[in-house]
Chains A and B, each alone.
Chain A
Amino acid sequence: MPFNAKSMKFNANINTVEIGTGDKAIKIGGENTFPFYTFDAPTVNAPKVGIEISDMGLANEPDCIKAVYAGCESVVDMAKKAVTFEGVDFLALKLEGGDPNGENKPTEELVELAKAVAEAVDAPLVIEGCKNVEKDAELLSKCAEALQGKNVLLMSSKEENYKSIGASAGLAYNQKVGAESSVDINLAKQLNVLLSQLGVNSQAVVMNVGSAAAGYGFEYVISTMDRIKAAALQQGDNTLQMPIITPVAGDAWGVKEASASEADVPEWGCVESRAIDMEVATAAAVLASASDAVILKHPVSVATISKMIKELA
């Protein structure tokens, strides 16, 4: 008897969310199979890769990143350069300087910067907040207003501030809303329910379900993403059918494998390649667990992951 492969595509789909405008706009999500299961159904939208820069410029960056952006005099210059790297689908601007426990830059200054970056590049834009829930509520709402018409993704609303960010980004200014929870399928789902009860169209929501660097409690991350995808596709749970975006850079570059200097641990080898390895390993793993987009820092990581996606998707 001949072998007939059974296709395991599901009746449910992940929502397709478009970010950006014009030719460069990207679509994430849309799939009805497990990640890279091209033998079940053709890929709808291949996972997307973003590159991350910060409003702090190169102040807090390691030497290898300073080298990447050598010659750039401003954040806007960095943005222009970043989008030219091979494999970059979108640009992520992280407004970490807004943190009241850090630089505490005023909202207006950061919003101006976001506007300038948006003007300077035509790649789709993701705005990341400073992680302080009160400040983000104000900062991301103002960004949503200032960037009207650019169709940006604002990351992220959390349980504590979903009302203001959801209302401004999702309802008033027609942007895309990030929904961030911390590595728990139920918390992810609860936030999606809250957003939809607020009136935010679930087709405008992208989840960040939380992450970690590979090897750092990472099995929880993988299990959460796997189960979310399974619930969305197998059980057709429409409160979990939002695509997943995972910011990898922050976690991967923060661990000692990526940051310990060569002087401290000579046996570990070159710090730049270690950092790239951490970033690539983490990104590859979250993509294999059904993330629809990742945010990376190093152009080599971006190119590597982009190549991996091309070959698998």
Chain B
Amino acid sequence: MYKVTFKFESGEDIIAFAALGENLLEVARKTNVAIDAPCSGNGSCGKCRVKVVSGELQSEKTRHISDEEYADGWRLSCVSTVKEDVEVMVPDIASAYRSRMKVADLSSPEEIKIFEQAKSDMLEAGIEFYNSFCVQTVNMDEPTLDDTMPDNERLARAVCEVGGYESAHLTFDVLLKLPDVLRENGFKVKCVVNEEAGRAVIYDVVGADEPCGAYGLAIDIGTTTVSALIADMMTGEIVAKASSGNGQIRFGADVINRIIESQKPGGKKKLQKAVIDETINPLIQQMCAKTKISRSQICRMCVAANTTMNHLLVGMNSDPIRMEPYIPAFFATDSVEARDLKININPRAKIVIAPNIGSYVGGDITAGTLASAIWSKPEFSLFIDLGTNGELVFGNSDFLMSCACSAGPAFEGGDISCGMRATDGAIEACTIDPVTMEPTFTVIGDEGQKPVGLCGSGIIDVIAELFRCRIINPKGIFVREGKRIRHDAYGMGSYVLAFREDAGSVKDVEITEVDIDNFIRAKGAIFSAINTMLNSVDFDISMIDRVYVAGGIGSGINMKNAVNIGMFPDIPLEMFTYIGNSSLSGAYAILLSDEAQEKVHEVGANMTYLELSTTPGYMDEFVASCFIPHTDAGLFPSVVQADEELCK
């Protein structure tokens, strides 16, 4: 056995022992060292780079590591095996997906506006924001030798009297702590109560002077990113919000790789642990610590996630999702409580899972559709969720169609050599001078933040600008030369946005032909899905009245550029609306409103699911869309016109 020491830029070393020839990425996974490996360790993404500090690894050279970097000790952990004692430095980029967990600042006006908008849209659509959670103040007579009623009956009777319920039920934890709480507080207490099937259920009991509230947790579990919020069940106020990378990322970037990983021995437990113990519970802990909310007062949880994430969360076999005929274990279920999944909130809290409607259209979409309120309007709306899977819903108050296409992780910065999520250091917008080819960009973060990589909106801008300036051709190949354009030993071109000395990272921030090609496929998948779905109901692009864009791509998305590269249909820009993380807004609505909960099941049940892989012509559409803006330029008249004007 050899000693492998993982070092970090901040944090303590982790020591592991490995056998000769053991894969470094595997060793890291076993010891819970977080190294981001979107491609599941097949050497294609180049994200899992580590630096050898002492000793040596058996490691192949790949195109992701230049000769200089190799000499400097940089290696890809997925193609490295242990051959002696070694110390490796895990750079921040590789472990970024976990360390970037952040509790969002709720003062951000855009954030609040998005939730307010979703709420008002739903109110307008006739959804009442009502649930039966409440906090009751209960004053009881202290027992005496003459009044010998036991504690639990005393509380139940008092609660029924105050709230006018027929009967009351105490959850196990309330029963357990009841004698102490009652006696410490002179039988004056507050209870968190919900009315369920005609009886009161008491979720928590605390002293009358202690803070007490009924809270709910809404959570959007994305394949790449997990976002959560805690809301006051009575007022609807969002008291905390947080997000982080999904801890399952190290087991593969997309749902298929995750399912495959879960089929290995112990895999289901491992993936469930990664999302619950390493992602959801830490998020809850952080939000509770910040707001001083007691976890036992979080009495309901609502999950909006894709079908695979739902299955992996519950810890069940998800393999049938990926195998023909693609049947999930459930669309909707009310069988799950917090204690079943060991989620650190009130153990009896019901977990409401937004219903799935197919193997590849899940609860995140039904929740998002609910939030967008397109089901209530007569106009024809297109709802696009740009995630690892692109999902589309088209329709109005009379019908809804949905489909999913595999866009890959490009919109969230995955599969792109300098890609990253929309956090500090990400280039979120860019313009390029057509003559000098010099870029001007904005970087997320404080004043003076140096660029580290590109987030989804930044990639769209860069590609649109490179194309507009005729630096790349419609296939994404570099056709101009200059100081910022380079070709590597294999002939692959790249454009440097920021040279090493100006970048906040260990390497240049650049975009390569491979990145552009990956992105063109992603945008091609989205556009061809839009076109195919519209054609299947005999509609065309001109009949779309509104487009709602959701997803973690960032509010910085430049719709004009997204149209220019042929990702979105060429219709007037005022028809586009960015609605943020609609899956989370939907989960928030379902959490707070019993009526929304019913509605989301109705929306899910009424949605027609179109399986693109069995739709003739989808492949043709896809190839036609893998071109900037599109092989059929007639679909993008405004782009062609702008190009002609530039030529003049």
Contacts and interface: CB of A to CB of B under 8 A. Distances in A.
Mutual binders A and B:
yes
Interface of A: 159, 163, 184-187, 189-190, 193-194, 197
B479 A193 contact: no
Given A163-B479, A189-B631, A194 B473 contact: yes
Given A163-B479, A193-B631, A186 B474 contact: no
Given A159-B475, A193-B474, A194-B473, 4 more contacts: A184-B620, A184-B623, A186-B631, A194-B474
Interface of B: 473-475, 479, 620, 623-624, 626-627, 631, 633
Contacts of A186: 620, 623-624, 626-627, 631
B515 to A, nearest CB: 18
A187 B619 CA distance: 12
| Main SS class of interface, A | helix
A197 B631 contact: no
Contacts of A190: 474-475, 627, 631
Nearest to A240: B631
Contacts of A189: 624, 631
A225 B115 CA distance: 52
A33 B627 CA distance: 30
A56 to B, nearest CB: 29
Contacts of A193: 474, 627, 631, 633
Contacts of B473: 194, 197
Nearest to B491: A134
Nearest to B623: A186
B623 A187 contact: yes
Contacts of B627: 186, 190, 193
13 contacts: A184-B620, A185-B620, A186-B620, A186-B623, A186-B626, A186-B627, A187-B623, A189-B624, A189-B631, A190-B631, A193-B474, A193-B627, A194-B473
B158 to A, nearest CB: 73
Contacts of B633: 193
Q: Which of B623, B627, B631, B633 has the most CB of A within 10 A?
A: B631
A189 B475 CA distance: 12
Contacts of B474: 190, 193-194, 197
A187 B624 CA distance: 7
Nearest to A197: B473
Q: Which of A163, A186, A189 has the most CB of B within 10 A?
A: A186
Contacts of A184: 620, 623
Contacts of A187: 623
A184 B625 CA distance: 13
B218 to A, nearest CB: 43
A193 B627 CA distance: 10
A152 to B, nearest CB: 26
A184 to B, nearest CB: 6
A194 B475 contact: yes
A197 B626 CA distance: 17
A189 B626 CA distance: 12
Nearest to B634: A237
B104 to A, nearest CB: 43
Contacts of B475: 159, 190, 194
A193 B475 CA distance: 10
A41 to B, nearest CB: 26
A295 B595 CA distance: 71
B527 to A, nearest CB: 13
A187 B625 CA distance: 10
A238 to B, nearest CB: 11
Nearest to B620: A186
A185 B626 CA distance: 13
Contacts of B620: 184-186
A193 B634 CA distance: 13
A193 B636 CA distance: 15
A160 B475 CA distance: 10
Contacts of A194: 473-475
Going nearest first, the 8 A-B pairs with the smallest beta carbon separation are A186-B624, A186-B623, A186-B631, A189-B631, A190-B627, A190-B631, A184-B623, A194-B473
A190 B623 CA distance: 10
Nearest to B625: A186
A56 B195 CA distance: 89
B593 to A, nearest CB: 46
B626 to A, nearest CB: 8
A73 to B, nearest CB: 41
A194 B626 CA distance: 13
